[in-house]
Structure 1
Amino acid sequence: MSIAETNTTTEVAAPKKKMCCACPETKKVRDECIVANGEEKCAALIELHKVCLRKEGFDV
């Protein structure tokens, strides 16, 4: 393998959706939890939503 081959970078595709429209399933559950329990008790759901957004191409 040459030096040129080892220094290649992979480009991340730009998100295909607006952030507000991405991951509606995790967003709904996260928002309901925050309203009912407060943000501090919903950290796991918040993180799951962030993971989903990252998979959609967002940098969060």
Structure 2
Amino acid sequence: MERYFLARVSAADVDPTRATQTDNIREHRWWSLPELRATRETVYPVGLADLIAAVAEGRTPKRPVVMT
């Protein structure tokens, strides 16, 4: 099981070289919500764009969301 957390940070605050487990980080990038919805790339967890949209609209889940 993987766990994801929402955090609001600036792009300058993200530095993969400071990650505690850098072994699988091949690249990183910022995605706008429209880019995330439109990509043909596989993005995990499935349904991430919908969850982000809900949170951006102020609909923050009261409990953790289990995504497949």
Q: TM-score range by the shorter chain?
A: under 0.3
Instruction: Report the TM-score when normalising by structure 2.
Output: 0.26
Q: Which has the larger radius of gyration?
A: 1
Structure number having the greater helix percentage? 1
Instruction: Report the TM-score when normalising by structure 1.
Output: 0.28
